[in-house]
Chain A
Amino acid sequence: MGSLLSLADRFDRFARSVGKGAGWIILPLIFMIVFDVVTRKVDFIRLYFSDFAINYGYSVSTILQDLEWHLHGALLLLTFGFAYLMNAHVRVDIFRENLSRRGQAWFEFWALVVMAIPFLAMMLIYSWRFVALSYSQGEGSESMTGIPWRYVIKGFMVIGFAVVLMAALATLARVSAYLFGTPDQKVAAHRSLSIFAHEDPASRALEEARAETERAAHEALHGSQGGKG
């Protein structure tokens, strides 16, 4: 269980840094749109670009417009996992918020095992086939003058779903540690989980204090031979 938790931490760190990094894509996206709008209104730049299209076979405006949705796609696909770890995905909390924290953890456990992980695995497998098909066809832009290598951006689908899957697995490991682990692991898992409803600092501190007492009681009962791994 301990090594599982450290693996979860590694997955978590990876998914988080991918998501945080990908978030910055919004800035080039904005600048690119502004650049595209402005240059299309300014005559001499437009003429220069149309010469470019004649000479090299690529249209700057089409490339920019393709690039806009390429960036958009990369941005959203790479942030799915990060958002799950931050508990930013919408939940219908009507009944869940009345459950104990342990009950919520059980719900999350089954949701991950039955629904989320199979679904994400399916998405991963089929998006891989999707990319493979695109690669074998040598797919490019529909407009011929846009960005070629369509399979590159399609590949982000595979990466994106792999990252969410990692976030889901990390959460599964932590939820399991919270449910089945030793008191120590329970505290560690609870600290790194953010799936619970009503997780305000006060109730979290209370919970940690309770776990601490539980651990002390556990040690008093079983002696301090250390965790069972």
Chain B
Amino acid sequence: MWELIYDHLYEFIGAYMFLALALMLFTGMPVAFALGGVALIFGLLGIALDVLDFAVFFQVIQRIWGGDGSSGAIQNPILVSIPCFVFMGTMLERSRVAADLLHILTVMLKRVPGGLALSVTVMGTIMAATTGIIGASVVMMTLLALPTMLKQRYNAPLATGTLAASATLGILIPPSIMLVLMANLLAVSVGNLFIGAIIPGLLLSGLYFVFIIVACGLRPSLAPPLPEGAIRLRPSDHRNTLSFIAVSGGLVAIAALGQTAGLASWLNWPLAAFLGIFFAAMAIGRKEGDTLLGGILKGFVPPIFLIVLVLGSIFAGWATPTEAAGVGAFGSLILAAANGTLTGTVLRDVVHRTALTTAMIFFIFVGATAFSTIFRNVYGEDLIIALIEWLELGSWPLLFMLMFAVFILGFFFDWLEITLIILPVFAPVIKALAPDFAPHLGLDAPTSIADRQFVEAQVIYWFAMLVAINLQTSFLTPPFGFALFYMKGVAPSEVKMQEIYKGIIPFVILQVIGLLIVLEFPELALWLPSVMLE
């Protein structure tokens, strides 16, 4: 009898471990404690069953530490970018950048049906390219736009759905901390994943845009247009327009001259001209104040400055993603200073919140590493592979099943837990099936080992992008969409949770459509990296 129980446990300890984790997570203790506690208990159980010995706990510490090119939390130059990106995003939310951007977009789109909702989508897309975190951006965008939308008698579900979906684009559109973590876990290049995510991100925001135009065109009552004269801008001062054009033109001419006159080694002329134009734009924008020119300069120049600084330096190969993150964080400090919002209180608050967010991410990282180390050592991964083989699915049904699993998990969990616990389990399965997907990606079936590695890498990039889109959806799916909770927390009290749930449904459907499009056309994720990184 005991022998039977022993044998059963010996074989299925990995399965019980997963089950125990699921139970513990739902008790509502901090996720990192659930992961770590289950790891410890099953580690001890494994030692009692002679599957493991105590050295496994030392291995846990080593894997949390990292080094030797492994994917640990501490000795890992790639992950240094995470605190920097968190700081950048948090700092930006405290500066007026988003408000200025929304203002000018509203002015420009006021004649289009659903103009305010479209402005929110465009703002979400642009801001997404400057921040990589979610919680705060949902709060910020809701506070900024929802009261105005409700005052214009926008349909509340449409307004909240647009806000929630647009605000979560930041997790997908680079720079995104989720993509950094994914690249780290999958052992692929962050830069490549960043570039690959641009088109899928824009595709989703395009889908939102089309949906809003169609819905508001068909039923104008959803989004009444702004009354004439609701936003009145002072006329621009032509001297300022002229001086801005003159300064920019002059700087570009000087830079071109410097570059061709053999002084290129002395100074980075394009960069210097870029910085000069930025400061000129900020100064003139401030002088102009509330006019069309001032609005455009104040609204568009800061985010473009940051996008060029961060993504530009990665694409141009000047900086690694980590360095780009540091430079971007520094850029956000400059922006806040130029906007006059950099005070001691703001800085203290941003530092404080950055510390909390960083700790939150990496504490789960620590727990998940403990869990996955023990899980691997009790042959849990072999158990999963055996289960998949037993199911005898083809490679396509399997991919659909994995996607469906991630989608369903997204109803209950956050991207962080799914990425850190599930991705290391799923990725090897997909890697093993890579040759099956090669024709779909427009690649030949691999013949040599080098060939196979290339195909595997491409399939993994594509798979990562599918998971990334899927995980953005996890923010939106009731009952446990983080974005919806954050939104409810700061929305005016007349907005009911039911309305928020109702409003998000079309956007979740759009997410699924976007996912299917990238599934059907892998080029969307793979083409840009192949061109940019020639």
Which residues of A approach B to under 8 Å, CB–CB?
19-20, 22-24, 26-27, 29-34, 36-37, 41, 43, 65, 68-69, 72-73, 75-77, 79-80, 82-84, 86, 88-97, 104, 107-108, 111-112, 114-116, 118-120, 122-123, 126-127, 129-130, 142, 153-154, 157, 164, 197
CB of B76 within 8 A of CB of A126, answer no
Number of interface residues of B (CB under 8 A): 68
Question: Which residues in A have their C-beta under 8 angstroms from that of B498?
Answer: none
73-99 of chain B: CB within 8 A of chain A: 73-77, 79-80, 83-84, 87
Are A90 and B370 also in contact (CB < 8 A) when A20-B355, A76-B74, A96-B28 are?
no
Sorted nearest first, the 9 A-B pairs with minimum C-beta distance are A115-B37, A33-B326, A96-B28, A23-B355, A111-B29, A83-B359, A119-B36, A89-B30, A79-B359
Q: Is the interface of B mostly helix, strand, loop or mixed?
A: helix
Encoded as 1 (CB less than 8 Å from any A CB) or 0, chain B from 359 to 400 comes to 110111010001000000000000000000000000000000
Q: Does B25 contact A (CB under 8 A)?
A: yes
Chain A proximity mask over B388-428: 1 for CB below 8 Å, otherwise 0: 00000000000000000000000011101100000000000
Q: Which residues of chain B come closer than 8 Å to A27, judged between CB atoms? A: 351
Q: Is the CB of B359 within 8 A of A80?
A: yes
A-B contact pairs, 14 of them (CB 8 A): A30-B84, A30-B87, A34-B326, A76-B73, A76-B83, A80-B366, A89-B360, A94-B26, A115-B37, A115-B38, A116-B33, A119-B33, A123-B61, A126-B57
The reply to whether A33 and B412 contact each other, CB–CB distance below 8 Å, is no
Q: Once bound together, how far apart are the Cα atoms of A160 and B440, in whole Å?
A: 48
Does B27 lie within 8 Å of A37, measured CB to CB? no
Query: Does the CB pair A76–B322 fall under 8 Å?
Result: no
The reply to whether the CB of B496 lies closer than 8 angstroms to some CB of chain A is: no
Other-chain contact of B364, A26, A79, A90 (Cβ < 8 Å)? A90
A-B contacts counted at CB < 8 A amount to: 204
Secondary structure dominating the interface of A? helix
With A90-B30, A115-B24 already in contact, the answer to whether A29 and B84 are too (CB < 8 A) is yes
Q: Flag if A37 contacts B65 (CB, 8 Å).
A: no
Q: Mark B437-470, 1 if CB is under 8 A from A, else 0.
A: 0000000000000000000000000000000000
Task: Given A89-B32, A115-B34, decide whether A122 and B74 contact each other with a Cβ distance below 8 A.
Answer: no
Residue of A nearest to B54 (CB): A126
- The listed residue (A31, A86, A157, A164) touching B61 by CB distance below 8 A is A157
The CA of A72 and the CA of B65, in the complex, are separated in Å by 12
- Interface residue B358 (Cβ < 8 Å from any Cβ of A): yes
Shortest CB-to-CB span from B469 to chain A, Å, is 21
Query: Which residue in B34, B37, B322 is a CB contact (below 8 Å) of A118?
Result: B37
B236 at the interface (CB under 8 A from A): no
The answer to whether the Cβ of B234 comes within 8 Å of any Cβ in the partner chain is no
- In whole angstroms, what is the CA distance A222 to B295 when docked? 69
A90-B36 CB under 8 A given contacts A26-B83, A96-B27, A115-B24: no
Question: A107 touching B73 by the CB < 8 A rule?
Answer: no
The distance in angstroms between the C-alpha atoms of A30 and B310, with both chains bound, is 13
**CB neighbours of A164 from chain B (8 A):** 363
Q: B111: which A residues are within 8 A, CB to CB?
A: none
A30 contacts B359, CB within 8 Å? no
A101 to B232, CA, bound (A): 51
Q: How far is the CA of A30 from the CA of B322 in the complex (A)?
A: 10
Q: Is B10 part of the contact surface with A, judged by Cβ < 8 Å? A: no
CA of A226 to CA of B364, assembled, Å: 44
A31 and B83 within 8 A (CB): no
CA–CA, A198 and B34, complex, Å: 21
> Given known contacts A72-B79, A75-B83, A118-B37, is B356 in contact with A43 (CB within 8 Å)?
no
Residue of A nearest to B480 (CB): A94
CB pair A29 B326 closer than 8 Å: yes
With A34-B327, A76-B359 known as contacts, the answer to whether A92 contacts B412 (CB < 8 A) is yes
Given contacts A68-B77, A91-B31, contact A41 B36 (CB under 8 A): no
A37 B75 Cβ-Cβ under 8 A: no
CA distance A30 to B318 in the complex (A): 17
Which A-chain residue is minimally distant from B87 (CB atoms)?
A: A26
A19: chain B residues at CB < 8 Å are: 355, 359
Contact B74 A69 (CB under 8 A): yes
Contacts beyond the supplied A32-B326, A86-B356: 10 A-B pairs with Cβ under 8 Å: A26-B354, A33-B327, A79-B355, A80-B363, A88-B359, A88-B360, A94-B480, A112-B33, A115-B33, A115-B37
A27 to B332, CA, bound (A): 12
The answer to whether B29 and A107 touch across the interface, beta carbons within 8 angstroms, is: yes
Q: Which of A72, A75, A95, A111 has the most CB of B within 10 A?
A: A72
CB-CB contacts below 8 Å: B326-363 with A: 326-327, 329-330, 333, 351-352, 354-360, 362-363
Chain A residues near B260: list those with CB within 8 A.
none
Report the minimal beta-carbon distance from B527 to chain A, rounded to whole angstroms.
29
CB distance from B313 to the nearest CB of A (A): 8
Residues of B near A80 (CB, < 8 A) are 359, 362-363, 366
CB of A41 within 8 A of CB of B268, answer yes
**Contact yes or no, A127 B61, CB < 8 A:** yes
What chain A residues lie within 8 Å of B159 (beta carbons)?
Answer: none
A33–B359 alpha-carbon span in the complex (Å): 21
Q: Contact partner of A119 among B39, B64, B355, CB < 8 A?
A: B39
Asked if B2 lies at the interface with its beta carbon under 8 angstroms from chain A, I say no
Residues of A within 8 A of B243 (CB): none
Across the interface, which residues of A come within 8 angstroms of B34, CB to CB? 111, 115
Q: Are A30 and B480 in contact (CB under 8 A)?
A: no
Once bound together, how far apart are the Cα atoms of A20 and B353, in whole Å? 10
Q: Answer whether residue B283 sits at the interface, using C-beta atoms and an 8 A cutoff.
A: no
Chain A residues near B30: list those with CB within 8 A: 84, 89-91, 111, 116
Q: From residue A117, how far is it (CB to closest CB) to chain B in Å?
A: 9
**A118 and B40 contact, CB distance less than 8 A:** yes
The minimal Cβ–Cβ distance linking A12 to chain B, given in whole angstroms, is: 16
Give CA–CA (A112, B28) in the complex, Å: 12
Determine the chain A residues whose CB is within 8 A of the CB of B268 once the complex forms.
41
Contacts of A115 in B (CB 8 A): 24, 29, 33-34, 36-38, 40-41
Provide the residues of chain A in CB contact with B358, threshold 8 Å: 26, 75-76, 79
Is the beta-carbon distance between A36 and B323 smaller than 8 angstroms?
yes
Decide if A119 touches B356 in the complex (CB within 8 Å).
Answer: no
| B354 and A23 form a contact (CB under 8 A) | yes
Nearest residue (CB) in B for A75 is B83
Please tell me if the beta carbons of B351 and A23 are within 8 angstroms of each other in the complex.
yes
Given A33-B326, A37-B326, A88-B356, A94-B412 contact (CB < 8 Å): yes
